[in-house]
Structure 1
């Protein structure tokens, strides 16, 4: 099924992700948060360019969601981590090992804040018995696909290949010394991922005029029902619907995608209504797991 969203974007479900080498797509693998919602896997996204997926975060369920989205297991070889909260990283062991079991031969490349290398190393040590059994036992396994290459970053341009350029954007989240959003550029197309953050001048600057801005959000209305200790936390380190409306009015993305939503009893429709009521009238959608947003090759494609 294909549903037209704007003159520039379509929301795609149940369709190949590699239909055209020039396509750039945002694949929503998980929109969840620490709440154990069975309909929403943990936070994870993929930008797909020239058929190659570049993952952002590794929340619980990431590999099975990638499979459901039609991403090939051997292609899951590149991931960019926004920060080290558990809901964004507990899928790392799955991402490191499951695609290897399913014939990925390349080591996985991980990019993220300081502490990521130690996390990945500890995961590898935890599964040493499994790795030894697969390498030395009766079942066939290659000798490279279980390995990881981890690059700890400090912001700026962190990766470039023939498909895409990736910029890490320093943001503030909780008491972390380092947390990042990411900007993916392929030719004249850009997709910006906020990660977990409150309103951020650096993120706004990077996202100006982006084709897609995928941004975390919480309901400003149901926030009022939260205990004061949580109101204090979320108001400092996350972004309300009212704040996001102001951000989007300044950034003017061609499409605003809400993800990592905190509802507290609100619905997707409520989030959109709150953003509209706060004065943003541009294209916006509240994403569900396995939504795919394609940027057409032609700027004025229908």
Structure 2
């Protein structure tokens, strides 16, 4: 396994010596208009790094830029270093948007994407699916630079897989939907350490990699909705996701400075079933007395 020493990203704004967490999308497969698919930008010293690219990723990125996160760049042209936890559709359905829209609107440099085995095939299929569009923009009146739609894919394994002057990223295996290659990430910057659970049931690897973190960003489901779904979906949740009780137990062991709840799992729940976010938050807070919040799209920490 190789560790990438990334090149400086041309055209990025002047660095601000800090680390920001920008929640672009906090949703699930359920098409909630208030929550785009999973996507988070970590801005370190003025350089943006994207984790996951669910549906709506570029529109949320531009909304964050308009909100003042200038490192993302107009039309998200600076989102060129990208990490993906696993290849489920709710985490990856924004891939064509990520590769094509910023290029059409001005990106001139390639995108580097790091993720599980299967990423290279997914990338090639996306480029093939949009071949007519790409060819027309390369050879038609647009005359866009080919470099701007180039993609460098890196299929990763557990361990440190990326390092540059701003961050070090470690992948660790998690337990989700029988996927052989699903990861959580530990992101270390000069200012803080951030752990992303990815989608997972409780695992020792997550506990091991969360010790000493400043921020833990974790998926969860509420016991209140778990009790209302069919036994099939209760079993699915137990095997693939983390309950409020299990998450509180983890947080009590690792004691992050901030716990952010995201990807509120509602698999098996009817569309009309109430799933208020304060129920999940209250369940966690009953057992964990540290600083915990619910993440929303365009929250900045």
TM-score, length of structure 1 as denominator length = 0.88
**Alignment correspondent of 2:87:** 84
**Alignment correspondent of 2:278:** 269
**Alignment correspondent of 1:59:** 54
Verify: 1:158 aligned to 2:161, yes or no: yes
Alpha-carbon distance between aligned partners in 1 of 2:191 and 2:284, rounded to the nearest angstrom: 28
**Alignment correspondent of 1:132:** 135
| 1:186 aligned residue (184, 189, 195) | 189
Count of residues in Structure 1 that have an aligned counterpart in Structure 2: 275
**Alignment correspondent of 1:177:** 180
Alpha-carbon distance between aligned partners in 2 of 1:19 and 1:241, rounded to the nearest angstrom: 40
CA separation of 1:27/1:19 partners in 2, compared to 1, >3 Å: closer, same or farther? farther
| Contact 2:262–2:294 (8 Å) recurs in 1 | yes
| Contact 2:241–2:265 (8 Å) recurs in 1 | no
Match of 1:69, SS state, is helix
**Alignment correspondent of 1:141:** 144
Higher strand proportion, which one?
1
| Contact 1:172–1:178 (8 Å) recurs in 2 | no
| Contact 2:15–2:47 (8 Å) recurs in 1 | no
Match of 1:221, SS state, is helix
Structure 1 segment 66-77 matched on structure 2, within 5 A = 66-70=61-65, 71-72=72-73, 73-77=76-80
Higher helix proportion, which one?
2
**Alignment correspondent of 1:38:** 33
| Contact 1:209–1:254 (8 Å) recurs in 2 | no
Q: Tell me by how many angstroms 1:268 deviates.
A: 2.2
| 1:246 aligned residue (234, 249, 256) | 249
Q: Deviations for 1:194-242, whole angstroms, at most 9, x for unmatched residues?
A: 1000112111111112111000011112110011111111111100111
Alpha-carbon distance between aligned partners in 2 of 1:33 and 1:55, rounded to the nearest angstrom: 18
Q: Tell me by how many angstroms 1:20 deviates.
A: 6.2
Alpha-carbon distance between aligned partners in 1 of 2:89 and 2:212, rounded to the nearest angstrom: 32
| Contact 2:39–2:91 (8 Å) recurs in 1 | yes
| Contact 2:19–2:191 (8 Å) recurs in 1 | no
**Alignment correspondent of 2:98:** 95
Verify: 1:27 aligned to 2:36, yes or no: no
Which consecutive unaligned segments of at least 5 residues does structure 1 have?
1-17, 294-302
**Alignment correspondent of 2:299:** 291
| Contact 2:285–2:292 (8 Å) recurs in 1 | no
| Contact 2:211–2:254 (8 Å) recurs in 1 | yes
| Contact 1:182–1:194 (8 Å) recurs in 2 | yes
Q: Tell me by how many angstroms 1:63 deviates.
A: 0.6
Alpha-carbon distance between aligned partners in 1 of 2:14 and 2:163, rounded to the nearest angstrom: 23
| 1:281 aligned residue (272, 286, 289) | 289
Which consecutive unaligned segments of at least 5 residues does structure 2 have?
1-12, 66-71
**Alignment correspondent of 2:226:** 223
